[in-house]
Structure 1
Amino acid sequence: MTVFILRRVLQAILVLAITSLVVFLGVYAIGDPLEILLPADASMAERAQVTASLHLDDPLALQYWNFIVQALQGNFGRSFVFNRPALEVIFERLPATLELVTTSLILSLIIGIPLGFLAGTRPRTVTDETIMTGSILGFSLPNFWQGMMLIMIFSVWLGWLPSTGRGDTGTILGVRTSYATWDGFVHLLLPATNLALAQIALVIRLTRTGVQETMPLDFVKYARARGISERRILSVHVFKTILIPIVTVLGIEFGSLIAFAVVTETIFAWPGVGKLIIDSINMLDRPIVVAYILVIVSMFIVINLVVDVLYSLLDPRIRSRAS
């Protein structure tokens, strides 16, 4: 077990090192931040002073080496725009994104599992076909189009929900969150729903498939023979069986949602790291861009590592194949 975990950790470190090199070279080879940071009539002396202060005149290899040395100490450089540590700016925005992603996952479970059960227990019926057609639309329609339609329907036509911003936040257990105020909660609903639509479709399909594969198994037939009600069979025996793959997939999807919340945050002006990275790319704020990508990649690596370890604990055959 120790060898298995150690191998996964070394692989994660190698992936992170390669990613840092590729991202650094790609980002620092694009554009000139001085064109955005300085006015058009800036003198050569002012340009030289800003270039020296940002170390943009150092050779690229030296810049990368300094970046790695500082990153290992938890310092990813100072933002050109905010004039603050890049990691501090990202972690300041990250809670809003985590709140959005967590809410979307909760919605996907609350809506997707019951609909998946309904479709799975009524195969080849009108109910099944309707639910599965809706799940296809959830996968097929572009995320940005879904967001604009949600704004059009619920904000413009009906006027029920606000379309942009995070709203007022409050404190729960020392954490600033939109759940603490009604204004913050209603601001959260539309962007969370937009981000959850594809996940709802995924959960519906996973649940439906799991139900249809589990219902013919022997332990379900044995439960029926014992006189256990169909409701209890579904809610206890079948539900426990299909929940493991659903939670596993959503655990991996959690990292994907953080990375791909950019579109939703941009459409709804949600003040998370997704909107931050778009603004930073437009402003050529290189430290923010590099730090953001490495933070997201690190989260992916950690989540995948945790999933690998959990699977190896649940199924020793995985460890034997990996060793």
Structure 2
Amino acid sequence: MLTALIRRAIQAIFVILAMTVIVFIGINVIGNPVDILINPDLNQAERARVVEHLGLDLPLWQQYLHFLQGLLHGDFGDSFVYNRPALGVIMERFPATLELALSAMFIAIVVGLPLGLYAGLYPERLSSRLIMSGSILGFSLPTFWVGLMFILLFAVQLGWLPSNGRGETVGFLGAGWSFLTRDGLAHLFLPALNLALFKTSLVLRLTRAGVQEVLPQDFIKFARAKGLQEHRVVLVHLMKNLMIPVVTILGLEFGSLIAFSVVTESIFGWPGMGKLIIDSINLLDRPVIVAYLMMMVVLFVMLNFIIDIAYTLLDPRVRLDGGN
């Protein structure tokens, strides 16, 4: 077990190192931030001083080595726009994005898992067919359109919920959180629901497919033949085997909620990392873009590592080293 964990950790380091090369080169070929950040009225000498101050006068390979050196110390350089450490700028927005992603995942699990379980256990019922038909909408409707419709209906027409911002926050663990206040929850509900629609449909259909696959298995028939109550068969024997693929998808999808909440944050004016990265791309703020992308790389690597460990907890037959 320990050997497998060490092997996975080494693999993760090589993946992160490879991604530093891809990210750094990719960011440095999309444009020249000097053309956006520097006043065109400056003379050549002043322009050269600014370029030198930003470190853009060095060869690309030397910029990359400086970037790696800073990365080892948690330093991604200073933002061209905010003139502050890029990682600090991102971490200021991270709690807002994390809160939104956790809320969306909570909705997806609380709604999608029971509905998928019901639709799998009773596939012939009309209600189950309606549930599966409704899940198609979650896949089909564009996120930006649904978000605009939510704002039009609940904020403009009915006036029940606010349409933008985080509302009142309360400090906890060194960050401000909206879900701890009534006003914050009101601001959080619509963007979280909008972000959760696709994930809810995904969890629902995945759960239903898992139930349909596990139910015919011999151990389920044997459990019922022993006279176990149906709720025990479902909650213990069925759910334990069902959760292995569900945990895989939920882990990866949680990472995507954090990484790709850009549209929802932009529509609802949610002050998270997604909105920040859009502004940084428009301004070619390379340190912020690189820091954000590297955070996402580390996040997905860690999530995959956690999922592997969760496998072994859910099913002891699964081993990190691939053995049986």
TM-score, scaled to structure 1: 0.92
2:251 is aligned to: 251
Letter in 1 for 2:51: T
Native 8 Å contact 1:94 1:273 kept in 2: yes
Deviations 1:107-145 (A, max 9, x none): 001111121122112213321221111112211222222
- Using the TM superposition, name which of 172-181 and 14-23 deviates more: 172-181
In the TM superposition, residue 272 of structure 1 has moved relative to its aligned partner by 0.8
2:13 and 2:323 map into 1 onto residues whose CA distance is 18
Change in CA separation of 1:241 and 1:272 when aligned onto 2, cut-off 3 Å: same
SS class of match (2:171): strand
Deviations 1:142-169 (A, max 9, x none): 2222222222222222221111111111
Native 8 Å contact 2:95 2:175 kept in 1: no
Q: Does 1:16 align with 2:16?
A: yes
- Using the TM superposition, name which of 237-246 and 110-119 deviates more: 237-246
SS class of match (1:179): coil
SS class of match (1:10): helix
In the TM superposition, residue 246 of structure 1 has moved relative to its aligned partner by 2.0
Native 8 Å contact 1:172 1:180 kept in 2: no
- Using the TM superposition, name which of 160-169 and 289-298 deviates more: 160-169
Letter in 2 for 1:257: L
2:186 is aligned to: 186
2:316 and 2:99 map into 1 onto residues whose CA distance is 32
In the TM superposition, residue 237 of structure 1 has moved relative to its aligned partner by 4.1
Letter in 1 for 2:7: R
Q: For residues 1-323 of structure 1, what are the structure 2 equivalents within 5 Å?
A: 1-172=1-172, 175-225=175-225, 227-311=227-311, 314-315=315-316, 318-321=319-322
Q: Identical aligned pairs, as a percentage?
A: 52
Letter in 1 for 2:109: L
2:323 and 2:67 map into 1 onto residues whose CA distance is 34
Native 8 Å contact 2:96 2:272 kept in 1: yes
1:316 and 1:215 map into 2 onto residues whose CA distance is 20
Letter in 2 for 1:89: V
Change in CA separation of 1:233 and 1:318 when aligned onto 2, cut-off 3 Å: closer
In the TM superposition, residue 219 of structure 1 has moved relative to its aligned partner by 4.4
1:47 and 1:166 map into 2 onto residues whose CA distance is 40
Letter in 2 for 1:275: K
Deviations 1:78-98 (A, max 9, x none): 000111111111111111111
Native 8 Å contact 1:108 1:196 kept in 2: yes
2:138 and 2:6 map into 1 onto residues whose CA distance is 39
1:3 and 1:121 map into 2 onto residues whose CA distance is 41
2:286 and 2:262 map into 1 onto residues whose CA distance is 17
Aligned residues: 323
Native 8 Å contact 1:112 1:203 kept in 2: yes
1:12 and 1:322 map into 2 onto residues whose CA distance is 20
Deviations 1:196-233 (A, max 9, x none): 11110111112212323333444444554555543454
CA RMSD of aligned residues (A): 2.2
In the TM superposition, residue 175 of structure 1 has moved relative to its aligned partner by 4.1
In the TM superposition, residue 69 of structure 1 has moved relative to its aligned partner by 0.9
Change in CA separation of 1:273 and 1:179 when aligned onto 2, cut-off 3 Å: same
Native 8 Å contact 2:247 2:307 kept in 1: no
Native 8 Å contact 1:4 1:322 kept in 2: no
Change in CA separation of 1:322 and 1:300 when aligned onto 2, cut-off 3 Å: farther
Change in CA separation of 1:226 and 1:308 when aligned onto 2, cut-off 3 Å: closer
